[in-house]
Amino acid sequence: MPKRLLSVFALTALVLTGAGCFQPKTSQTSQTQGPQPEEDGPPMPFEEYTVKAQEGRAIALKNTDGTRLKIVFPQGALAKDSVLEVAERPFVQGALSSGFSLRQKGSEQSPELKTPALLVFNVAKDKGKNVSIVRYTREGFEVVPTRVAVKDGQTSLLAYVTHFSDYGTQEVDAGSVQTAKDKQKQESQNYNWVIYVKDTADVSMGAMKRKITLDFKAVNTSGDLAGEYKGYARAKTENDMEALGGKMDADFQITDDNVSFTVEPYVELADLVEREDGLANLEPEKLPDLMGQGTLHMKGSGVASGYIGAYGGSRGVDATPSSDAMTVAVTGPLVRLSVNITGVGMAYFDGYIRGEGR
């Protein structure tokens, strides 16, 4: 078989990218009222949300003060399927924004969590980084260790929690933040955050049809949702083409066993700021909570075959090594990898993120 025909099957690249979408569905508002201090004004109504434990869900809210927040239940975080009632907790003195109350329907109890849930607040204020998500108590509030990002007058706050109460945001001092981090340090060592992707993408290159099946796993062992993830990417590519009255195909197994990337909270830009991230037309609940970028260095080998009439054959070939830019977007419990495959273009692979006990 001519070398020229075989070269058609050389693997040019594989790439992953991300911008996951998860949109909650809200039931009719019930008439029960949420708890809050008397000075905060009239009680806010609870709204009902059904969350299936093994599917996970993100509950997206826009509070009356403009605060956008998400309560994210990764797959397997809830101990059982639940109907939850959520109400806005109005702005209180010293707060950065309003907050929320959450409980099991028909009960004053919060739902049982097997692994952590995630809270994300986006506030159209810039108070610097001495702000935090807090848990309200009868005595005041407790600081929850929080990732804070500020950009263009917008503040994004992200934290994970292992139980529910009333939560909001407050300006805090550096000492309180460090005390909270020290208190949570031991608990955070009980969990890893893990990204799983097992998905298939179809990519056409003229007459060449390519099917890429990706197995991807990355783990953050710091106990924090944001930060560095390490893992692997393993892919099978099936390439088929009919040309010159014949048929050619090539199947490759390619891998990168040293995948590494860092994700950080995504900061929603102010409405009047020109968008450069390609996310201008997404509803707020579909915007990422975390984003990161990295590179996949894929290499491997396979078998290429070509036949024209009764002539042809097959042989083992090495895949062309590739370095492909990757974007990782985490939205609620979902993950999208966007990979810019060299010489081909963008391919998208969907998966999920969850906390797992060590």
Percentage of residues of the chain with pLDDT beyond 70: 79
Q: What is the mean pLDDT of residues 198-217?
A: 87
Asked whether residue 23 carries a pLDDT value surpassing 70, the answer given is no
Whether 18 and 294 have beta carbons less than 8 Å apart is answered as no
The one-letter code for the residue type at 30 is: S
User: What is the set of domains in the chain, with CATH numbers?
Assistant: 3-19+191-357 (2.40.160), 29-188 (2.60.220)
Instruction: Please give the structure tokens belonging to residue 9.
Output: 């099957």
Span 109-131, mean pLDDT?
A: 88
Contacts of 331 (CB under 8 A, 6+ apart): 19, 20, 21, 22, 58, 286, 287, 288, 289
Closest by CA to 290, choosing from 269, 267, 274, is 267
pLDDT of amino acid 233 = 96
pLDDT tens-digit series, residues 257-278? 999 999 988 876 444 334 344 4
At residue 125 the predicted structure's pLDDT band, cuts being 50, 70 and 90, is confident
Sequence-distant (≥ 6) Cβ neighbours of residue 180 within 8 angstroms: 132, 142, 143, 144, 145
Reported pTM: 0.72
| Residues 340-354, mean pLDDT to the nearest whole number | 88
> Per the structure block, which two tokens stand in for 265?
């909270």
Contacts within 8 Å (CB) and 24+ apart, 314-319: 314/1, 315/1, 315/6, 317/6, 317/9, 317/10, 317/250, 319/10, 319/11, 319/237, 319/252, 319/254
Q: What is the pLDDT of residues 212-245, one digit of tens each?
A: 999 999 999 987 788 899 999 999 988 887 766 6
What pLDDT digit, counting tens, does each position of 269-328 carry? 444 334 344 444 445 557 788 899 999 999 999 888 877 766 777 788 888 899 999 999
Q: How far is CA 200 from CA 54, 94, 203, in A?
A: 22, 49, 10
For 80-90, write each residue's pLDDT tens digit: 999 999 999 88
